[in-house]
Amino acid sequence: MNKKRLMYVLLGVMMMALLLGCSKKPEAELADSKAVLEAVAAEGGEKYAKEELDVIQSEMTAALDEMAVQDGKFFKNYDKTKEMLAQVKAKSEALKAEIPARKEKARTDAQAALDAATMAVTDAKALLAKAPRGKGSMADIEAFNADVQGLESAITEAQGLMTSEDYFVALDKANGIKDKASEISTQVTEALEKVKASKKR
Amino acid sequence: MIHGLIKTVLLLIALSIMTGCKSAPVPPEVREAEQQRIDLRKAGAEIYAPEEYKIYKRSLRDGQIHLASENNRFIWFRKYKDIKVEFTGILAQGKLIEAKVEEQKRSKSVTVANQIDFLRNRIETIRKLASLINEGRLSSKSLTQAELQLAEACALSDRGCYTEAEEKLKVISKHTEKAANSILPILNRYADNSKITKWRNWVNETVESSKRNQSYSIVVSKVDKRLYLYKGGRSYKTYDVELGTNGSNHKMYAGDKATPEGKYQVIKKVPGSRFHRALLINYPNEEDRRQFAIAKKKGLIPQRAAIGGLIEIHGGGKDGMTLGCVAMENHHIEELFRIVDVGTPVTIVGAIEYENSVTSAMKKL
């Protein structure tokens, strides 16, 4: 009788161990991690933190794989999955917290470039206004003025990009405008110096 | 009896635990396929192989459903052989898409690079043509916009964003089209064979008269920006000249800044001109007056417009340009001023040759 009881107890302990081994699938942790990861994407992760987001997405896939492996086991142990999901969540949260600052930096960089471009166009216009009127290099001046009009249209486009928060495109455009405006200023300055020199002659 | 049954079941379970009770492992192809899907998306499969990628994703989803259903079976009955086969197929499908995406990207990169080169050359050609006829003012705005967009398209192409680059290239094409159209009416004058034939006849008559009278004659070719001085029917001197803005058009009325085309003569020599020295010609001549009247009647020029006058060959320098006159370097006008007299024929034409700098540049358009 005592032997029988002992055997039942032993078997019962084994069953308990078996049941304890079948730990609960981390559905809540998975949902949390997915939600934070989606929030990163919604915050602009694809634009402002593409590489980090790709890494986290790969880690998420690895966590899902680990979970699938555990799903396939009789003794399920989701500890590693949980750990991986927690890491995904933590990294996602950290990245999400960084995005507003990156976005702000992109905005200020683009705005600074746009301000510099606007200034360069204003300078070019001021130089053109100084250019001698009448005969002189009228065709050139008129062509430069048309160039400046083109730059002004581009500035309007860049401002539109700022409004639509396409900061990187706006930055590229602003830099292009600035370069072209500086080029025009150089050409106008050269033309003015030429005129001055010919007057001295 | 019941105890015996329980005992047997528990023993069986214990036995299975002891003998390593676990299912077959999930095939590695499952994870590889998931990673492949991410890689394909990153590579741009949605853009470069949209249909194939859609089918691939459907296959992957089916595979995952089959995997889940296999996972739901009791541990001893799970078999992943079919899952492995299915995911191996999905991976093969993905590899084909990967190859197609790469091929498409390679092909797009070549197409985009060619288009960028084409548009860059086109912008350069239009600028050159506009400069040839002093009409940068008409095309520069559009060309500047095109140049800015081209720089952006290049940056996009460098980053492998070919579809976005192609979108930019379409916008650039519109700008270059607008720029080209703004100067084409003027350029076409220099490619119009009937006009050139007429101009050539004027030049021949002028040279002939120089020969006949053993005198000096002047021919100005607008497209060449050259003044040819003939003596006794032979080329005697050649000078570079410059025209004003709109100088490439034929003068129609006062203030249009165009340089007249026609057969004229020097009617006055102005030694103390604002532009160093000047040779005043008899614009408007009879033909100019006739054309002016017709243009006014047809409403081609403002009703209150006057025909204008005071067209000169003067100094002031080539860089100085002019408003409808012909400008030369001061030392050149001094020389010409000394040589020619009042009455010297002056023929101003758009072009002398059928194949001229404008027509050859236009071929690149």
Phi-psi region of B355 (alpha: psi -120 to 50; beta: other; left: phi over 0): beta
Shortest CB distance from B141 goes to which of A73, A140, A146? A146
Which residues from chain A sit within 8 angstroms of residue B35, using beta carbons? 58, 61
Å from B75 to nearest chain A CA? 6
- According to DSSP, residue B242 is labeled B
Q: In the prediction, which pLDDT does B242 show?
A: 87
- Rounded to 5°, the CA angle B283-B304-B314 comes to 30
Contact A146 B316 (CB under 8 A): no
Three-state DSSP class for A26?
coil
Contact B35 A177 (CB under 8 A): no
- Rounded to 5°, the CA angle B182-B183-B188 comes to 130
Q: In the prediction, which pLDDT does A201 show?
A: 40
Q: In the prediction, which pLDDT does A68 show?
A: 77
Distance CA B133, CA B186 (A): 8
- In this predicted structure, which of A124-133, B177-186, B207-216, B218-227 has the lowest mean pLDDT? A124-133
Over the stretch B291-314, which tens digit does the pLDDT of each residue have?
999 998 888 888 888 998 989 999
Residues in chain B: 365
Residue with tokens 């020619």: B340
Contact A136 B321 (CB under 8 A): yes
Q: In the prediction, which pLDDT does A200 show?
A: 43
Which residues from chain B sit within 8 angstroms of residue A75, using beta carbons? 21-22
- According to DSSP, residue A74 is labeled S
Å from A86 to nearest chain B CA? 20
Over the stretch A163-199, which tens digit does the pLDDT of each residue have?
999 999 899 999 999 999 999 898 888 777 766 655 5
Distance CA B51, CA B224 (A): 57
Q: In the prediction, which pLDDT does A108 show?
A: 96
Bridge-based pairing of strands B312-314 and B276-281 is antiparallel
Residue B196: C-alpha distances to residues B185, B221, B222, B241, B295 (Å): 15, 11, 12, 20, 21
Question: Residue B230 pairs with which residues in a beta bridge?
Answer: B217, B235
| A32 class by beta-carbon count within 10 Å (0-12 exposed, 13-18 middle, 19+ buried) | middle
The helix (H) or strand (E) run that includes residue B220 is strand B216-221
Helix locations, B133-192, DSSP H: 136-158, 162-189
A residues 108-147 closer than 8 Å to B (CB): 134-140, 142-147
- Rounded to 5°, the CA angle A108-A112-A114 comes to 115
Q: In the prediction, which pLDDT does A2 show?
A: 67
Å from B187 to nearest chain A CA? 16
Contact A58 B35 (CB under 8 A): yes
Q: What is the CA radius of gyration of chain B?
A: 40
Which residues from chain B sit within 8 angstroms of residue A142, using beta carbons? 136-137, 245
Helix locations, A49-78, DSSP H: 50-71
Q: Does A160 touch chain B (CB under 8 A)?
A: no
Mean pLDDT across B73-92 = 89
Which structure tokens are listed for B289? 């007056």
Q: Is the previous residue joined to A26 through a cis bond, with omega within 30 degrees of 0?
A: no
Distance CA A111, CA A101 (A): 15
Over the stretch B3-23, which tens digit does the pLDDT of each residue have?
666 666 666 665 555 444 556
Contacts of residue A96, Cβ cutoff 8 Å, sequence gap at least 6: A36, A39, A40, A43, A45
Residue of A nearest to B7 (CA): A8
Which residues from chain B sit within 8 angstroms of residue A139, using beta carbons? 134-137, 244-245, 247, 321
Distance CA B33, CA A151 (A): 49
Q: Domains (ranges, CATH) in chain B? A: 17-191 (no CATH), 193-362 (2.40.440.10)
Which residues from chain B sit within 8 angstroms of residue A151, using beta carbons? 144, 148
Bridge-based pairing of strands B312-314 and B345-349 is unpaired
Distance CA B61, CA B313 (A): 82
Contact B21 A74 (CB under 8 A): yes
Which residues from chain A sit within 8 angstroms of residue B165, using beta carbons? none
- Rounded to 5°, the CA angle B95-B96-B102 comes to 90
From B48, B356, B84, B80, select the one nearest B221 (Cα to Cα): B356
Distance CA A79, CA B140 (A): 67
Mean pLDDT across B18-42 = 78
Neighbours of B68 (CB within 10 A): 11
Mean pLDDT across B318-327 = 75
Q: Does B128 touch chain A (CB under 8 A)?
A: no
Contact A137 B319 (CB under 8 A): yes
Which structure tokens are listed for B261? 């085309």
Neighbours of B364 (CB within 10 A): 12
Q: At what angle do helices B28-43 and A50-71 cross, to 10 degrees?
A: 160
Greatest pairwise CA separation for chain B in angstroms: 145
Mutate which: B148, B161, B310, vs A, most A CBs within 10 A? B148
Shortest CB distance from B75 goes to which of A74, A150, A180? A74
Along the 201 residues of chain A, how does pLDDT read in single tens digits?
Answer: 567 777 777 776 666 555 555 568 899 999 999 999 999 988 889 889 988 998 898 888 888 878 877 876 777 889 989 999 999 999 999 999 999 999 999 999 999 999 999 999 999 999 888 776 555 566 778 888 899 999 999 999 999 999 999 999 899 999 999 999 999 898 888 777 766 655 544
Instruction: Give one DSSP letter per residue of B267-335, joined into a string.
Output: EEEEEEETTEEEEEE--S-HHHHHHHHHHHHTTSS-TT-------EEE-S-TTT--SSSEE--HHHHHH
Distance, C-alpha B203 to centroid of its chain: 36
Q: In the prediction, which pLDDT does A3 show?
A: 73
Structure ipTM: 0.70
Q: In the prediction, which pLDDT does B19 show?
A: 47
Phi, psi of A5 (to 5 degrees): -60, -45
A residues 3-42 closer than 8 Å to B (CB): 4, 7, 11, 14-15, 18
Q: In the prediction, which pLDDT does B173 show?
A: 95
Neighbours of A30 (CB within 10 A): 20
Bridge-based pairing of strands B234-240 and B345-349 is unpaired
Shortest CB distance from B38 goes to which of A57, A149, A180? A57
Q: In the prediction, which pLDDT does B13 show?
A: 60
Q: Which residues of B13-52 are buried (b: 16+ CB within 10 A; e: fewer)?
A: ebeebeeebebeebbebbbbbbbbbeebeebbbebbbeeb
Shortest CB distance from B321 goes to which of A137, A150, A154? A137
Bridge-based pairing of strands B345-349 and B216-221 is parallel
Distance, C-alpha B182 to centroid of its chain: 13
- In this predicted structure, which of A7-16, A115-124, B181-190, B208-217 has the lowest mean pLDDT? A7-16
Does residue B157 register a pLDDT over 60?
yes
Positive or negative: CA dihedral A178, A179, A184, A188: positive
Rounded to a whole number, what is the distance in angstroms from the first to the last CA of chain B? 101
Q: In the prediction, which pLDDT does B126 show?
A: 93
Does residue B272 register a pLDDT over 90?
no
From A126, A32, A135, select the one nearest A88 (Cα to Cα): A32
Q: Does B38 touch chain A (CB under 8 A)?
A: yes
Contact A73 B22 (CB under 8 A): yes
Which residues from chain A sit within 8 angstroms of residue B24, using beta carbons? 72
